[in-house]
Amino acid sequence: MHNFQQIQQQAREEAQGLSDVKALGAYRLKYLGKKGIVAEIFASLSAAVPQDKAAIGKAANDLRALVTQWIEEKSKGLAPAGSPLAGQDAGIDPSLPGTAAVLGRPHLLTQTIDEIIDVFEKLGFASIETPEIETEFHNFTGLNIALDHPSRDAFDTFYLDQDDPGAKGRRLLLRSHTSPGQIRIMKEHKPPLAVIVPGRVYRPDAVDASHSLMFHQVEGFLVDRKVQFSDLKGLLMEFCKRFFGSSLKMRFRPHFFPFTEPSAEVDISAETLGIGKKKWLEILGCGMINPKVFEAVGYPSGKYTGFAFGLGVERMAMLKYGINDIRLFYQNDVRFLRQF
């Protein structure tokens, strides 16, 4: 009776050693040809004892199936005999140019946030992230936003189906700005402080070319003794010129925010950005921190002064790169994303 284990082992080793198509053809004839080993085994059945015939037939079929499998596997990766690639995987041709891997890159909004953080860190600010799910105290009360302020309406804020542990009968909410970071950080740390808080914010706005129900902001604040509005103005002018270019023209306009007093909005000249003839474009809000905010975090009355500012990341990116629709940031169209 044939030693099928030895025959299979020999066939496997020979298959592994095949180096070109010619050798593969010879291998096929040796095992599967009309006069090959498998054919000889089947021919020997006539001389075998009846009780061995079934085992011999099954073993011969198994051998044929294995050899056929090895031939199919090898035929996909062998070059013709005499080819410079004989003995190599035919799927690799070192004479052809390589196929470069497609590399990813940070999203444009991530790039913009990183650039903003980099500028402020060089100006001495620390970057700290704070929670996106907030209490009413951090999002409103601590920032001198009264209970009857319109932004507290359910229509104007995303409230969650979870009780606010700090306000009986009220619910937790998705923060509507990054300003709650001011309250959290000032409650935990004493001045001097120079901090920026980047992150996502949520407002139930109707989505259009300039509005989104989720977007990104960067909050910034500085608290110390004898901080003045001139310090705020100088900081923001330096930041904007580093971000947009040294030729940028800016102006400050009086405005109102509950958590700053006095307050201002900052405009930049569209002409100096080369994006049209409209004279001024609003980019951020700012002001001196309201003493009621210091009172809410437990700072001694009159001991410290400070300023705060907030800017929209999408708006900064749209102005810098000439993008006219905020929805492009979220549509995941690689044709758009690959430009940046």
Domain spans of the chain, in order of start: 4-75, 108-337
More confident residue, 31 or 276: 31
Q: pLDDT per residue over 284-313, tens digit each?
A: 999 999 999 999 999 999 999 999 999 999
Query: Which token pair is 51?
Result: 């009780």
Give residue 80's pLDDT: 56
Give residue 197's pLDDT: 97
Q: Is 216 helix (H, G, I), strand (E, B) or coil?
A: strand
Strands across the sheet containing 171-174: 133-134, 171-174, 159-163
Give residue 240's pLDDT: 94
Q: Which of 30-39, 156-165, 178-187, 330-339 has the highest mean pLDDT?
A: 178-187
* Cβ atoms within 10 Å, residue 124: 10
Give bridge partners of residue 196 from the DSSP assignment: 127, 220
Residue 225 has pLDDT above 70, yes or no: yes
Give residue 93's pLDDT: 65
Residue 304, amino acid: Y
Burial per residue of 291-307, b for 16 or more beta-carbon CB atoms within 10 angstroms, e otherwise:
eebbebbebeeeebbbb
Domain 108-337 has CATH 3.30.930.10: yes
Residue 90 has pLDDT above 70, yes or no: no
Give residue 72's pLDDT: 82
Contacts of 131 (CB under 8 A, 6+ apart): 175, 184
Q: How far apart are CA 25 and CA 75, in angstroms?
A: 10
Give bridge partners of residue 285 from the DSSP assignment: 265, 310
Residue 76 has pLDDT above 90, yes or no: no
Q: For residues 111-125, give the mean pLDDT.
A: 97
Task: Give the per-residue SS3 of 39-73.
Answer: HHHHHHHHHCCHHHHHHHHHHHHHHHHHHHHHHHH
Residue 78 has pLDDT above 70, yes or no: no
Q: How far apart are CA 173 and CA 228, in angstroms?
A: 33
Name the percent of the chain lying above pLDDT 90. Answer: 56
Query: Which token pair is 43?
Result: 């021919």
Residue 329 has pLDDT above 60, yes or no: yes
Q: For residues 256-283, give the mean pLDDT.
A: 88
Task: Using alpha carbons, select from 312, 307, 272 the residue that is nearest to residue 293.
Answer: 307
Burial of 9 (C-beta count, 10 Å sphere; 0-12/13-18/19+)? exposed
Burial of 226 (C-beta count, 10 Å sphere; 0-12/13-18/19+)? exposed
Q: How far apart are CA 239 and CA 250, in angstroms?
A: 11
Give residue 193's pLDDT: 96
More confident residue, 1 or 142: 142
Burial per residue of 42-75, b for 16 or more beta-carbon CB atoms within 10 angstroms, e otherwise:
eeeeeebeeeeeeebeebbeebbebbeebbeebe
Confidence band of 274 (pLDDT split at 50, 70, 90) = confident
Name the percent of the chain lying above pLDDT 70. Answer: 93
More confident residue, 190 or 93: 190
